[in-house]
Structure 1
Amino acid sequence: MDNPETLKILKETIDKLKITKENLREIRKTNQTFPRQTNTRLLDAFQSFAQFDRAPIWMMRQAGRYLPEFKEIMKNRDFFDACQDPFIAAEITLQPLKQFEIDAAIIFSDILTLPKAMGMEIVMDKEKGPIIKNKLETVDDINRIKSPDPESLEHVYDALYLTRQALQGKQTLIGFCGAPFTVFSYMVEGETSKMFLKTKKWLYQYTQETRKVMDLIARESAQYLINQVKEGGAQVIQIFDSFAGQIPPIDYIEFVIPSLRILLEGFKQECPNTPLIMFAKDQNGVEVILAFLKMCLGETPLIDGFQLDSNVSDDVLIKIIESDRTIQGNLEPGVLYGTQQIIKKRVSQMIEKLQTTRRYIMNLSHGLTPDHEVEKVRQFIQESIRQSKLYKVREILE
């Protein structure tokens, strides 16, 4: 465990529960009692008739490089080393909650944590981002992919547990994983890509082998998410399909959604009451959304909410609202580079359009970036809360 000066936010929780590096896992496995939830805004957003004062708000990548305290704690630290240290991961997760009035914490981790445990050798380059040294180059290489040793992911559940205890019920805890297609794309590209030519070659030329790998990723992801809930205490789950928009909707529906169904069904079978948010970046057209909504029919809907991009159409919004699913999003993060006036205007336009449903979570259309200014982020949050409250008052008066 790091020294107390490093773990400033976690210190009270560690002292109260007498947690050490040596006994954390034992405490987690024997004491699954968490503080009473006093802020239920995010959880209520998945209920059609819940009473609330305003819409909940959080931001993707809210714990990250735009925060000075993040830069300080990550000084001389490797990214994945920080992810694998539950005390550091929890501390970073909690950092934005000390800065802003937000309703959720999303665990500090990475969508490549699972493939790393499945045999992918991954390093984080400061300029290029994640790089996979042993990427899949031939179909024979898929034999190297294995189910992870359960021990290799315990640090994630430890970090979730620490964070949930530290939140004291004042925020909701979100766990996550990468979607099979995005994880597979990393495996074959070896890094982020502009054209994703290797991914497309596998998808169209080695279709069966690609499906085999994505189905394996889906099954392991389902178990990973189940454990985040049952072992770590995650209360909401989000699936990130960051590269979803790299192929046409017709191919996404044919090649990608079947593996997603395996993931969703596997998770919901064990955690039917845990809200799940699907984020298929740049794939928010009517065709794909309708395919997702078909998964929401029946006794146990497989998707509870949709994270949406800033360019989503009104037709899609109507389809989701009519299906009684939750909408999360969808301010363009670039707006946070703007003046206070433009931030105020765009937040107003977003709320006017999206708060026609009670099932709404304020967020960005994708994540914060290292060059976002803390005060601009604060303006977005404060303006969102202010206008959301005003909208609710107006709704009552009308």
Structure 2
Amino acid sequence: MIPALPDTHLLPASHPLSDGRTASSPLVRAYHGVRSDRTPVWFMRQAGRSLPEYRELRVGTRMLDACLDPEMASEITLQPVRRHGVDAAIFFSDIVIPLRLAGVGVDIVPGRGPVLEHPVRTAADVAALPPLDPDTLAPITAAVQRTVAVLGSTPLIGFAGAPFTLAAYLVEGGPSKDHLAARGLMHSDPDAWDALLAWCAEVTGTFLRAQVLAGASAAQLFDSWAGGLSLLDYRDRVAPASARALDPVRGLTATPAGGVDPVTVPLVHFGVGTGELLAAMRDVGVDAVGVDWRIPLDEASRRLGGATPVQGNIDPALLSAPWPVLERHVTDVLERGRSAPAHVLNLGHGVPPETDPDVLSRIVEFVHGRA
């Protein structure tokens, strides 16, 4: 018998997991380790970049402004669901949106990425970081609510950057290939580093919880830069903060009507170049682990002990290959994914901007046709 949960862990009755819209969806079931008749599929960065309708909508609007416009963010989130027929929407946002909402000076510079006005390099810099006022999340809540009202039985996945990735941007002041400044702070001033990651975990958790309470049926934590860490540094200096970032959404549960068993919001963790970290990433307390293209899914599943659902891992480079080549690759990924309890087909990273949208639609049709 499942014990009663505190009210703080119960999702509203109007939530898509509670009212039956998404609780039995192939995606939610797969994240919980249950295979459906067909493998669910969605694509990271499916909302935007490669879609002409996205580019048309974004004309004259800066990236972070688009993320904070509820009507625009919702429309961009919905575009790939309409076009490709994917099994999930991913909330259109950016890793640095929680920083912007907290009052940190940051913007997206075209051709470069996120750039900070004032990098965080000292204990005093960390202490000066402002708290995230929950009231600033109103545009996020509105965009999610607007989106799930249209999605129906298609789940929405909440999105947030992991504490290390946020901290890396804050310390480096922008994108970096090796994150030497961030990794240097980790060891030269461990107290400042721990305080910085605690701040990042707080804003990430608040950002994710707002999305889930507003209607997201799953939550994915992206650690874009964790692949630059050693396993020891990840376990000792990063993983505890990732676990804390997930605490605000951990155990959030729906009680669907009609005698259906309670359903918790599934949590997913993905990183780039993290083949050596997969088990440690799983151990921060998630239900499924995303895998990039660098290792086969059956090897990833082996490293995870064969008991963890996996997500991935089409090589984005092959999206420009002739269809027979791509079809063989997708088939191979699907077959290797059978080594895990369940599999969500995805890319091993994001959709390249130059991708032909028809290729993504063809992959979805091919995967659904294998049921």
Give the residue type in structure 2 aligned to 1:284: G
Match of residue 127 from structure 2? 143
Amino acid at match of 1:88: M
Q: Which amino acid aligns with 1:41?
A: P
Q: 1:331 to 1:43 in 2, by over 3 A?
A: same
User: How far 1:244 moved relative to its partner?
Assistant: 0.4
- In 1, Cα distance between equivalents of 2:278 and 2:111: 34
Q: Which residue of 2 aligns with 1:117?
A: 101
Deviation of residue 293 (structure 1)?
A: 4.4
Determine the structure 1 residue equivalent to 2:44: 60
1:46 and 1:137, CA in 2 relative to 1: closer, same or farther beyond 3 A? closer
Conservation of the 8 A alpha-carbon contact between 1:106 and 1:173:
yes
The structure with the greater share of residues assigned to helix is 1
The alpha carbon displacement at 1:119 in A equals 2.6
Pairing 1:134–2:123 present: no
In the superposition, the TM-score normalised over structure 2's length comes to 0.88
Question: 2:268 — aligned with what?
Answer: 277
CA contact (8 A) 1:340 1:379 kept: no
Unpaired runs of 5+ residues, structure 1, are 1-29, 296-301, 390-398
Alignment match of 1:216 (pick from 182, 185, 199): 199
Deviates further, 77-86 or 113-122: 113-122
Q: Any conservation in 1 of the 2:282–2:288 contact (CA below 8 Å)? A: no
3-state SS of paired residue (2:249): helix
- State the Cα distance separating 1:222 from its structure 2 match: 1.8
| Correspondence 1:234-253 to 2 at 5 A | 234-253=216-235
Equivalent residue in structure 2 for 1:352, among 321, 329, 335: 335
TM, length-normalised to structure 1: 0.82
Closer, same or farther: CA 176–276 of 1 in aligned 2, 3 Å: same
Offset of residue 126 of structure 1? 1.3
User: What is the root-mean-square deviation in Å for CA atoms of aligned residues?
Assistant: 2.1
Conserved? CA contact 1:178–1:240, under 8 Å:
yes
Q: State the distance in 1 between where 2:367 and 2:172 align.
A: 38
Cross-structure match for 2:236:
254
Name the stretch that deviates more: 119-128 or 38-47: 38-47
> Structure 1 residues 179, 309: closer, same or farther in 2, change over 3 A?
same
Deviation of 1:49 after TM superposition, in Å, equals 4.5
Q: What corresponds to 2:312 in structure 1?
A: 329
- For residue 322 of structure 1, give the secondary structure of its aligned residue in structure 2: coil
Q: Structure 1's 336 and 96: CA in aligned 2 closer, same or farther, altered over 3 A?
A: same
AA aligned opposite 1:281: V
Specify every segment of 5 or more residues in structure 2 that has no aligned partner in the other structure, as ranges.
1-11, 254-262
Alpha-carbon distance between aligned partners in 1 of 2:319 and 2:31, rounded to the nearest angstrom: 27
Choose between structure 1 and 2 for higher RCO, CA contacts under 8 A separated by at least 6 residues: 2
Distance 2:282 2:290 in 1: 14
**Identical aligned residues as a percent:** 29
Tell me if 1:190 matches 2:177: no
One-letter amino acid matched to 1:278: H
> What residue identity is the alignment partner of 1:252?
Y
Go from structure 1 to structure 2 and tell me whether the alpha carbon gap of 1:97 and 1:133 turns closer, same or farther (over 3 Å shift): same
- The CA distance in 1 between the partners of 2:228 and 2:163, in whole Å, is 14
Provide the C-alpha distance between the structure 1 equivalents of 2:83 and 2:300, rounded to a whole number of angstroms. Answer: 34
Partner of residue 291 from structure 1, selected from 274, 280, 285: 280
Specify the SS of the correspondent of 2:238: helix
Per-residue deviation, 1:83: 0.8
Q: Secondary structure at the match of 1:369?
A: coil
**SS of the residue 1:76 aligns to:** coil
Q: Is the 8 A contact 1:225 1:237 kept in 2?
A: yes
Q: Please report how far the alpha carbon of residue 31 of structure 1 lies from its aligned counterpart in structure 2 after TM superposition.
A: 9.4
Once the two structures are superposed, what CA deviation does each residue of 1:133-156 show, in whole Å capped at 9, x if it has no partner?
Answer: 122133311122121121211111
State how far apart, in whole Å, the 2-side matches of 1:318 and 1:197 are.
Answer: 31
Who is 1:15 aligned against?
none
Count residues in correspondence: 347
CA–CA separation in structure 2 for the residues paired with 1:192 and 1:181: 13
User: In terms of mean alpha carbon deviation, does 237-246 or 271-280 score higher?
Assistant: 271-280
